[in-house]
């Protein structure tokens, strides 16, 4: 029962109606019998400053931040974590004593989810995408001691972050070079939104996939064509669902100081997607 004492959590994004975060967080809150509620807030880019101010004004305990605000929100915060600084993106804000602190739990969520399927140490990785989530994945992969990370994005302007950063393990290529680069990859990651909409094709032709190539797709709201193609040839694979759960669990800990029931969070999301 919501009361005047109920603490508010939420997520800022645009669009936001597709988000599954409210389902898993509210399921955890109910299971743990905590006096919180997690709400989705559709925040247009030109209203982000006002939305961040509202965290203080309305005494919101914390929020997640998703597309397209992960990078732009930083300038409105009082401080950010070391991982968020390195990544250049924030996906979690904690409000405490009037101060707003930014964190990046995508970093933890990706590492935790992929480590359950394959070790990335000493591996060659090819990734499509240069956005906020791609940055988190790139930094987490480098910290896990990969051999090399090759990145491609149709928007070459986004690669500026990787070219300017001191990342000797990273090579930036054009999308036209992907078919050649995938030949030497051990892990292939789609860190773009391609596949999020029903009926969308895979970001890469299935003829370039191999049984010994591990395929990771950050899209979580449906089984994408990329994952279907990987399963069809017997390649190891993982969707973004577990990453979503693990990054959400880390955010939950930062807000409440308590570990949520991860198994329940996964169960709720899988049931919803089915």
Catalytic center residues: 70
The sign of the torsion formed by the CA atoms of 216, 142, 65, 69 equals negative
| Rounded CA separation 169/121 (Å) | 12
Query: Which of 38, 37, 40 is closest to 15 using CA atoms?
Result: 40
Please state whether the peptide bond connecting residue 15 to the residue before it is cis, i.e. omega within 30 degrees of 0: yes
Under 8 Å between Cβ of 89 and 102: no
Q: Starting from the edge strand earliest in sequence, which strands make up the sheet with 7-13, in order?
A: 36-42, 7-13, 62-65, 92-96, 99-103, 79-80
| Rounded CA separation 55/61 (Å) | 8
Q: Which region, left, alpha or beta, applies to residue 89 given φ > 0 means left and ψ of -120 to 50 means alpha?
A: beta
Q: How many residues appear in the chain?
A: 274
| Rounded CA separation 9/224 (Å) | 30
Under 8 Å between Cβ of 204 and 183: no
């Amino acid at each position: 029962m919501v009361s005047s004492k109920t603490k508010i959590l939420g997520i800022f994004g645009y669009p936001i109606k597709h988000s599954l975060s409210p389902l898993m967080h509210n399921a955890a809150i109910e299971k743990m019998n905590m006096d919180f509620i997690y709400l989705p807030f559709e925040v247009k880019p030109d209203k982000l400053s006002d939305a961040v101010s509202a965290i203080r004004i309305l005494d919101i305990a914390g929020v997640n931040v998703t597309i397209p605000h992960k990078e732009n929100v930083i300038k409105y915060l009082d401080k950010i974590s070391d991982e968020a600084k390195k990544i250049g993106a924030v996906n979690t804000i904690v409000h405490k004593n009037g101060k707003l602190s930014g964190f990046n739990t995508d970093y933890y969520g990706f590492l935790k989810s992929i480590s359950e399927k394959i070790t990335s140490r000493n591996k060659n990785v090819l990734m499509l995408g240069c956005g906020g989530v791609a940055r988190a994945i790139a930094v987490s992969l480098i910290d896990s001691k990969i051999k090399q990370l090759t990145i491609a994005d149709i928007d070459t302007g986004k690669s500026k972050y990787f070219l300017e950063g001191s990342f000797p393990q990273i090579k930036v290529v054009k999308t036209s070079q992907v078919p050649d680069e995938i030949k030497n990859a051990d892990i292939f990651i789609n860190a773009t939104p391609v596949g999020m909409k029903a009926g969308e094709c895979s970001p890469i032709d299935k003829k370039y996939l191999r049984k010994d190539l591990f395929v990771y797709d950050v899209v979580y709201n449906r089984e994408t064509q990329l994952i279907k193609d990987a399963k069809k040839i017997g390649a190891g694979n993982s969707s973004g669902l577990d990453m979503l759960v693990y990054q959400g669990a880390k955010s939950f800990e930062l807000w409440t100081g308590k570990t949520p029931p991860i198994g329940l969070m996964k169960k709720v999301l899988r049931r919803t997607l089915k």
